[in-house]
Structure 1
Amino acid sequence: MPRMTDKLRYWMLVLPALAVMVLFYIWPVLNIWGISVTEPTAGLGNYTKMFDSNAVRVSFVLTFRIAAITTVICLLLGYVLAYTIANFAVRVRPLMLGLVLLPFWVSVLIRSFAWIVLLGRSGLVNDALMDTGLIATPIRFMHNETGVLIAMVHVMLPFAVLPMLTNMRGIPGSYMKAARGLGASEWRAFREVYFPQTLPGVFSGGLLVFVLSLGFYITPALLGGGRVMMISEYITYQIQEFLNWGLGAALSVALLGATAVVLLAASRFVNLRKTFLERN
């Protein structure tokens, strides 16, 4: 009886969450898959059209390239910031952590419009550079990959910082002191003792940023101006402009499949359960 009671309590807790997941995630995904093979006619015509389209291939390559570059930049900047907060900024740590979290309190749409104001031809950045005499003509920051990358790094940076900061704050400082006490230089102690222990945070932050970047829409659409069309914008374009629900749904399924492949590939090299669930 006690075991049956424990199992009953377990399922009473699990079933509501499972029902919500089925209703609001699995069922819509299945509907999208259904639309992809039934609109406008039944069959795999939408997938054939998708694989034969050069525009779709270019959009997918562009999406993965921008996501990869964004991830690398976020990891480099985020590692330095997380390391500083975890090890040096003891007195101002709450303030710095608050500044990292501050962007979450502002809409992504507002932040993207702010970058338009900053990076436009008559924006604050170009005006400042021209006033100081560093440039003679405005630099084209927008409607290209440069502006998209700048804005996406700004949006995604907290997602890289927080996992790495959580990981770093769990590393005892005595490890570095012991390494220095045994004669290791500061750089060698960091390279051989500290950095390997931060890899779970680096992997989780990088994977989080990359996966989120694959499906990003607002910032690339505004800063790219239609010239940097990532796959999410291409899907919206197909549905809103051409009412091509079948192809749009097929692209959505392909994006979901690509994300799943990324996670599957990562799981071959990284223990995702340990990376995301365990805390040092």
Structure 2
Amino acid sequence: MVWPSRVYWILLAPLPLFLAVTYVMPFLMVAGWSVTDPQPGFAQYGRVLGDPTVLGVLLRTMRIGIVATAVSVTLGYAVAYNWVFGPLWRQRLIEYCVLIPFWISVLIRAFGWLILLRSNGLVNEGLADLGLIDEPLALVRNEFGTIIGMVHFLIPFAVFPIASALRQIDVRILQAASGLGAGRMRIFWQVTLPMAMTGVVGAAIIVFVFALGFFITPAILGGGRSVMVAEFIYLQLFQTVNWGLAAAMSMVLLIFISVLGLGLRKAMRIDKLVGR
């Protein structure tokens, strides 16, 4: 007779084995490259922290990530608020608008924005036809275009945790605040936002982690002028063949994201983000 506990471990065994093969072993290999290529030591980590070019990439990644996170969370809050408290027809419309982007490849979305924002794209041609501009605006191949593409991708990831937090607010509290004479802005700043702050902070951390690892969107919309960490690592691997530096930057990025994850776990309970 097989004991229930033994059955439990037998059924569970494939998962840690899969994680070990697909995550732990590659992680150990990358960690090894960071201290052995081209020679043993921590020289590559010293270059990550001291090379102006590498530092510039890291700072650019942080700057773009922070701006994209701020914009995504702000817009995501507005969408989530209307999704939770809006009329039924608006809720259904927002559901489609939030879910449909998940069915579209990030590559297709990036090229779509490139068509819209390039010098002879629909946006510049429309502004020129209206007489608002005399020459095309530089909307792509820079940080501005990169941020627009990132925000478009990240908004849904901000909407879900914020909407989950908003759904936990008792509508009677908002009605009571309104009955006591509080206006909409006061209710927002003193009631709704503080009570949904768990979802806002969670959304900010989740979105920021996603933003740090963007590759396709900055590569297409940045046009090589707004290189972020992921693209820089790719260039080090497949163009300059500097695997040691690429591995060191990967480890630094992984450690930073792990710290953010621990901060998220410490700042709030994960079950609140999923509405439990």
Equivalent residue number for residue 64 of structure 2: 66
Q: Could you tell me which amino acid in structure 2 is paired with residue 273 of structure 1?
A: I
Q: Could you tell me which amino acid in structure 2 is paired with residue 56 of structure 1?
A: V
TM-score, reference length from structure 1: 0.91
Q: Could you tell me which of 169, 188, 213 is aligned with 2:211?
A: 213
Q: Could you tell me which of 117, 132, 135 is aligned with 1:119?
A: 117
Give CA deviations for 1:88-114 in whole Å, capped at 9, x if unaligned.
132232232111111111100010011
Equivalent residue number for residue 38 of structure 2: 40
Q: Is the 8 A contact 1:176 1:190 kept in 2?
A: no
Q: Structure 2 regions of 5+ residues with no counterpart?
A: none
Change (3 A) 1:85 1:273: closer
The correspondence of residues 1-280 of structure 1 with structure 2, limited to 5 A, is 5=3, 7-267=5-265, 270-276=267-273, 279=275
The alpha-carbon deviation at position 177 of structure 1 amounts to 1.2
Determine the C-alpha separation between the residues in 1 that align with 2:165 and 2:47: 45
Aligned-partner SS, 2:13: helix
Q: Could you tell me which amino acid in structure 2 is paired with residue 271 of structure 1?
A: M
The alpha-carbon deviation at position 5 of structure 1 amounts to 4.8
Determine the C-alpha separation between the residues in 2 that align with 1:193 and 1:242: 54
Give CA deviations for 1:31-77 in whole Å, capped at 9, x if unaligned.
11011122222222222232221111010011011111001001111
Determine the C-alpha separation between the residues in 2 that align with 1:39 and 1:144: 33
Determine the C-alpha separation between the residues in 2 that align with 1:7 and 1:186: 55
TM-score, reference length from structure 2: 0.92
The alpha-carbon deviation at position 84 of structure 1 amounts to 1.1
Determine the C-alpha separation between the residues in 2 that align with 1:46 and 1:119: 38
The alpha-carbon deviation at position 164 of structure 1 amounts to 1.1
Q: Could you tell me which amino acid in structure 1 is paired with residue 74 of structure 2?
A: L
Determine the C-alpha separation between the residues in 1 that align with 2:188 and 2:115: 41
Q: Is the 8 A contact 1:143 1:226 kept in 2?
A: yes
Aligned-partner SS, 2:224: coil
Q: Is the 8 A contact 2:233 2:249 kept in 1?
A: yes
Q: Is the 8 A contact 2:237 2:243 kept in 1?
A: yes
Q: Is the 8 A contact 2:165 2:273 kept in 1?
A: no
Determine the C-alpha separation between the residues in 1 that align with 2:261 and 2:269: 9
Percent of matched pairs sharing the same residue: 38
Give CA deviations for 1:159-191 in whole Å, capped at 9, x if unaligned.
111211222223221221122234433333333
Q: Could you tell me which amino acid in structure 1 is paired with residue 160 of structure 2?
A: L
Change (3 A) 1:176 1:233: same
Q: Is the 8 A contact 2:47 2:54 kept in 1?
A: no
Q: How many residues align?
A: 276
